[in-house]
Chain A
Amino acid sequence: MEDELDRIFSRRDEMIPSSGFVASVMEAVQRESTASQPIAFPWLRALPIFAALAAVLVMLGIAIFELVRMPVSYVGHWTIPPAIMRVLSQTSAGWVAIALVIALLSTWIPVRLIAGKR
C-alpha cells in the first residue's frame, strides 16, 4: 500500500501557473499596499486627555496619602481635602466624569456587540 501510494503521488503532474497569475497577485498586493495604510494613533490630540488622566491620578494619590496619614479616629468622618475639593468644583469634575463614563460606554458597547457577532 505504501509503495502504491508513494508511486501515485510521486508521479503526480505538476500544475503550471497561468500566465497572468503573477500580474494578478501583484495587482492585489499593490491594492493592499495603497488601501490599507494603518491609521496612526493621534498622539497630539490625545495629549490633553493624558494630561487630565495624569492630574486625576495625582489627586487620587494625594487623597490616599492624606487618608493614610490621618489618625484612625478621624477615618470614620473623613472628607475630601479642601484643596482637592476646590479643584474639583472649579473644573466641573462631576460633569467631566459623567461625560467620560458615557464616552467609555458608547465605545465599549458597540465593540462588545461587534465582537459578539463574529
Chain B
Amino acid sequence: MSPTEDLADVERVLAGEVSAFEGIVRRWQGPLINMAYRFCNDRSRAEEMAQEAFLRAYRNLAGWRRDAAFSTWLFALAANLYRSELKRIPAHNVALDDIAELMDKRSHQAEFEAEDRDRIIRRAVLALPEKYRDAVILYYFHEMDVPAASKSLGLPEGTVKARLFRGREMLRSKLPQLLQGPKLKEA
C-alpha cells in the first residue's frame, strides 16, 4: 500500500474523477472491515460500518491534511465513526461479570476448547467500559503499536497506555482463569 497511490487517487477524486475512489476502497477495505469487526464482532455489521466509513472519507477527502499519512487519517476517521455507531446501537454483549461467571462454569467442562475461551475473551473486551475497550481494540488492531493507536483515538500516548493498563487490569480481575492458559481444557 504505497502512500503515493493514495495521494494520486485523492488528487484525482478531488479533481472530480469519482471513480478514482475505487482504488482507495480496494486498498483499504480489508483493514477497515477488520477494524469494524473488532468493534462489533458481527460480520455483516462490520461491512456496513466500513461502507459508512468509506462514504464519510469520500465526503471529507478535502479535509485530509497531507502532513499525516492517508492511512492515519482514514483510521482515525473510521475509529471515530465505529465508536459513535457502537454508542448508537451497542454490540450484543453480555456484562463482564456474566462473562466471568460463564468462563468459570465452562472451565470445568472437559470439552472447553482454547478456541471457545479465546472467543469469550474477545467478548469480554467488548464488555469493557468504552474508553478501555477502544484503547484495547485499537492497540491490537495496530499490532500493539501505542503511537498508532493513540493517533486513531486522537489521544496522547500516555492516556492510551493508562487506559490499556486499566483495561487489562479489569480483565485480569474478572477473568483470573485466563492466567491458567492450557490447564483450562484439562480441568
Contacts and interface: CB of A to CB of B under 8 A. Distances in A.
A14 B35 CA distance: 10
Nearest to A6: B144
Contacts of A9: 122, 140
B136 to A, nearest CB: 8
A33 interface: yes
B31 to A, nearest CB: 10
A9 to B, nearest CB: 4
Contacts of B179: 1, 4
A25 B51 contact: yes
Interface residues of B, number: 34
Interface stretch (A16-24, A58-66, A91-99, A104-112): A16-24
Contact of B54 (A6, A15, A25): A25
Residue of A15, A17, A25, A28 most packed against chain B (CB within 10 A): A25
Interface in A26-57: 26, 28-30, 32-33
Interface of A is mostly: helix
Interface of A: 1-2, 4-6, 8-10, 12, 14-18, 21-22, 24-26, 28-30, 32-33
Nearest to A22: B25
Interface of B: 18-19, 21-22, 25-26, 29-30, 33-34, 37-38, 43, 46-47, 50-51, 54-55, 58-59, 118, 121-122, 136, 140, 143-144, 168, 171-172, 178-179, 181
Contacts of B144: 6, 10
A32 B55 contact: yes
16 contacts: A1-B172, A5-B136, A6-B144, A8-B122, A12-B122, A14-B34, A15-B30, A15-B43, A15-B46, A17-B30, A22-B26, A25-B25, A25-B54, A26-B22, A28-B55, A33-B18
Contacts, number: 75
A13 to B, nearest CB: 9
Contacts of A12: 38, 122, 140
B37 A15 contact: yes
A8 B179 CA distance: 12
B54 to A, nearest CB: 5
Given A8-B121, A29-B21, A32-B59, A24 B51 contact: yes
A22 B34 contact: no
A23 B172 CA distance: 43
A29 B18 contact: yes
A11 to B, nearest CB: 8
